[in-house]
Structure 1
Amino acid sequence: MSPASPPLPTARTDAGAGPLLRAWRERRGVSQLDLALRAGSSARHISFVETGRARPSAEMVLRLAEHLDVPVRERNELFLAAGYAPHYPQTPLDDPAMDTLREGLEHLIRGYEPYPALVVDAVHDVVAANRGVEMLLEGVPDTLLTPPLNVVRLSLHPQGLAPRIRNLRAWRDHLLAQLTRQLALQRSEAVRRLYEEVAAYPVPDGDTEPDPGPDGAGPGGSGGHLPGFALPLRLAHDGRVLSFVSSIATFNTPMDVTVAELAVETFLPADPATAAYLRTRGGGA
């Protein structure tokens, strides 16, 4: 049984920026004195800001948000709450100004072929995918492939990839934990709805493979076929089981909300057999 999704961080712009800043400071486990030292201010001033006795300058809002590692979208909420215009633009991905970025991302994931790679947005909708991903989706019903294609829904839906994931329980736990961490950082009703939807999907009584043990090799310890360096995605495909480990990359110091919420996920073969099969399917050497 899946835990309920965590409550969204509260944000009342009519209450000023103080309560929001205090909530972020407490969430990060930082004292007023520590934050003041980092931001070049005083604990007294931080206290006055949090209680509404002082209105922070726009520069101070930005500085505090940076030191508290507030997500870019939530930084705009802080600016609005403090009475300023949003600091970061939110440019649609299909805007001509994004052409170079979009082409660069598509070139990046094409260059990763024959291995699967895709780009997702803040709610895990697929923005771009390469032929490696398309290959893994063979046999998935068209109803699940209608845009916007959501990678979490596709992975856990009973008619999606879920019946083919050999370690579904472990992979499901991984995806739900990822959504939980995301909800702890941003007020996204879309992500909350996604969590509640996929957490309610039926879970099989047991996987065809056991969950990895402490070293990633199954309950019996080392000697199993699961790689010990990361949780694998074990996926049945074309009469065999392919094994991947995934990595996620984001942009460094983004200055746009849209860009800040993009992520590139790549799937690296976790064993020689998977690598060889993908090279064969992709026409590589």
Structure 2
Amino acid sequence: MYRFLLTPRWLALHVVVLLVIPAFIFLGRWQFGRYEERSTASDRTTTNLAAAPVPLEELATVGGAVPEGDKFRTVTVRGSYDAAHEWVVRRRTQNQRVGFYVVTPLVTSAGAVLVNRGWVPAGTDADGTPSVPKPPTGEVTVTGRLRPAETEETSGIPNRAGLPTGQILLVDDAVLGAGLPYRLYGGFVELSGQQPAAAIAPEPVPDPDPGSGGGLNLAYGVQWWMFIGIAIGGWLLLIRREARDLRAASESAQKTMQSVSH
């Protein structure tokens, strides 16, 4: 009765099922991996944002790099802004508007750190330099979120040359520090507070959203593994239906033959 399973049509179906099962297992494991990564990143972001502020030099070094585990830790640093070496970062969206981040070096006794002072809207000409409030003069104490340097790999933003003077696409201390008369701390600081406060300042960058922790990835992982049961169940159902139809056809043929013989 089950010799039909060795026919070419059914052999092709067996191959398809045997291929999709490991594929679904792989896709489920990949989604579970993404869930763990995003949950870890979400928990770390929440923890770092809630941590008490510490001096910049406790987490960053001149010429070093900011570890991913310290991303969004709140730091404090005292120094003076160097407005002569200020940049605006293109294509940054805030409140559904496209504009620029304003990045200014803050010079300290040990070196300098890049400070993202906030966001300004783009003008009528996307290639033109926007109107940027000047940083305060004299010494200030900056409080902000520590960020690793931006690269093409970490940000997904392709860099390119030939931009208007003073405009950049990525906040990368290793690149920007090459043209400065002092050494830079690794990464940059996203300003959240400043003393004394500036009378006019760029719009502050909002706190990052820790995200849902990869809940969708968990759901997708469970879904892929449910597809394994569906594939196997559907395969067995087709086999049973084919066997039932063949049995019914055989019984009908036997009855026909018996009827003819009588």
What TM-score do the two structures reach when normalised by structure 2? 0.25
**Max radius of gyration: which structure?**
2
Higher RCO, 1 or 2 (CA under 8 Å, sep at least 6)? 2
What TM-score do the two structures reach when normalised by structure 1? 0.23
